[in-house]
Structures are given as structure tokens and as C-alpha cells.
């Protein structure tokens, strides 16, 4: 059971806009930045969004992130076949049992 | 070009030990925090451990606390993970990931991973 909750799957057709949600609590998303990682099949994860809504250089502006309260979202517009991948949200968690990094369980995006 | 290359994975029996290494190049290793993140077969990402640039701050996931030890050698541009008392549930691909200063969940570069299999 992951600390951050994501839908296990999402899908869309080429050109569509899809969103992936990430739900947490006051100790993680509610008080810290959210990061998004993309993992293409058979490869290592790659940073997609940092500090809630910032894109590293090289990441297309089709990808955008947002955060509100204890939830965050990743939006992908103009969906392309190469976007088919697993997407993970992550945040720092100021847990009473000790600080830690927490990930969502991941969302598998299928481009139909 | 930033490169992170993990090594040391393999097959180990339950209760055994293994030491993973991560060789870094292409950046000033001593200026960056580092992390280990693992991924069990067919599962999601799980953060394992964090070490600050000077080794002064270290964190562990509850699942490995007391069994795993993270360390680094800035003179050798290397990160390590000593894994003791290994369990079947530690079977995973282990990635080393560079952390951005003052932002612990911000992993801007990842290695390709090394597979650890714990089985008798």
C-alpha cells in the first residue's frame, strides 16, 4: 500500500488530454513539493516534473503538473504513442516515524 | 554528461549480504546528495535511502532500517549500499539516483539499475 495514491491505469487516444491524479496527506503533498517521474518500458525512471509544476529542460510542454492542498495532478496534452509509460508521483514526507521519500503506486498510461 | 553506473547485484540466499556500488561521473559528486531507489519485479518504485553530500545526514526507509547501510566515498566518486540480513522481499532492481541540493525527493539523474535476487 503506497503512501501516495494514484490510479493504477489511464488511457487515451492520440491527441487527447489525459490527467493522472496523486493523493496524499498533510505530511507529504500538503506541506512539500511534488515530483513526477516517467518510466518507459524496460528503462530507468526519468524526472518529468519538479517542484509541483516545473519542467526540466528537454521535457515537452505537453506535460504539466499542478498541486492543490493534499493532491497533485499530471496532465499530458496532445497525447502521443511514445507517452505510453508508467508515471509516478513522489514527495518528501515529514512522518512522525521518521522523514522519508514516498512514491505513488504508479499509473500505467496506455495510448489506444 | 552525468553518468551513474550501478554494480554488485546478483543472487544471494536469504539472510545473506551484498554490497552495491554506484560509480558517478560527469559532475562534482561531492556537491550532491545521493539516493537508492528500488523496484521489485512488476512493482512500483520504493525509496530506500538518502545520504547528504558530506554524509552528515542519512535516512532510511522503515523496510530496510537496521539492515542496510548507505555510504559514499567522495574521493572515489562512489556511492554504496551494504545490504545485510537479506529477505526475499528485498528482491528488486536497485537504482542510484542523484539528488538536487536541499530537495530530497528531487532525483534528477538515475542509473540503469542492478538486479538483486534473494532466493535459496
pLDDT in tens, B31-80: 999 999 999 999 999 999 999 999 999 999 999 999 999 999 999 999 99
pLDDT for residue A35 = 97
Q: What average pLDDT does this structure show over A8-21?
A: 97
A101 in contact with chain B, both atoms CB, cutoff 8 A: yes
pLDDT tens digits along B11-38: 999 999 999 999 999 999 999 999 999 9
Is A103 a residue whose pLDDT tops 90? yes
Q: Is A104 in Cβ contact with B44 (below 8 Å)?
A: yes
Put simply, whether A36 touches B (Cβ < 8 Å) is: no
Query: Number of residue pairs across A and B with CB atoms under 8 Å?
Result: 70
Question: Contacts of residue A33 in chain B, CB cutoff 8 Å?
Answer: 103, 105-106
List chain B residues with CB under 8 Å of A46: 110
Nearest to B51 by CA among B63, B69, B24: B69
Contact flag A50-B103 (C-beta cutoff 8 Å): yes
Tell me which residue in B95, B107, B112 faces A47 most closely, judged by beta carbons: B107
Q: How far apart are CA B92 and CA A106, in angstroms?
A: 16
DSSP-derived secondary structure for A37-62 = EEE-TTS--EEEEBTTTB--TTS-TT
Scanning A3-22 for CB atoms below 8 A from B yields none
* Rounded Cα distance, A42 and B32, in Å: 27
Cell of A13: 487516444
Does B111 contact chain A (CB < 8 Å)? yes
A98 has a pLDDT exceeding 90: no
Amino acid at each position: 500500500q503506497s503512501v501516495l495514491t494514484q490510479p493504477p491505469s489511464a488511457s487515451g487516444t492520440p491527441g487527447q488530454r489525459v490527467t493522472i491524479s496523486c493523493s496524499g496527506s498533510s505530511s507529504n503533498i500538503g506541506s512539500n513539493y511534488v515530483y513526477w517521474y516517467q518510466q518507459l518500458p524496460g528503462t530507468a525512471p526519468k524526472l518529468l516534473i519538479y517542484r509541483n509544476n516545473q519542467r526540466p529542460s528537454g521535457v515537452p510542454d505537453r506535460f504539466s503538473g499542478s498541486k492543490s492542498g493534499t493532491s497533485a495532478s499530471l496532465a499530458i496534452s496532445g497525447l502521443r504513442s511514445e507517452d505510453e509509460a508508467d508515471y509516478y508521483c513522489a514527495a518528501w514526507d515529514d512522518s512522525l516515524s521518521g522523514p522519508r521519500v514516498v512514491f505513488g503506486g504508479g499509473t500505467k498510461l496506455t495510448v489506444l | 554528461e552525468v553518468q551513474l553506473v550501478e554494480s554488485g547485484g546478483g543472487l544471494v540466499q536469504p539472510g545473506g549480504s551484498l554490497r552495491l556500488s554506484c560509480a558517478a561521473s560527469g559532475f562534482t559528486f561531492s556537491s550532491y546528495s545521493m539516493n537508492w531507489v528500488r523496484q521489485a519485479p512488476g512493482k512500483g518504485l520504493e525509496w530506500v535511502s538518502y545520504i547528504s553530500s558530506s554524509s552528515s545526514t542519512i535516512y532510511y526507509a522503515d523496510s530496510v532500517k537496521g539492515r542496510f547501510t548507505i555510504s559514499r566515498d567522495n574521493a572515489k566518486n562512489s556511492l554504496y549500499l551494504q545490504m545485510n540480513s537479506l529477505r526475499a522481499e528485498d528482491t528488486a532492481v536497485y537504482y542510484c539516483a542523484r539528488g538536487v541540493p536541499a530537495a530530497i525527493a528531487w532525483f534528477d539523474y538515475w542509473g540503469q539499475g542492478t538486479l538483486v535476487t534473494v532466493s535459496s
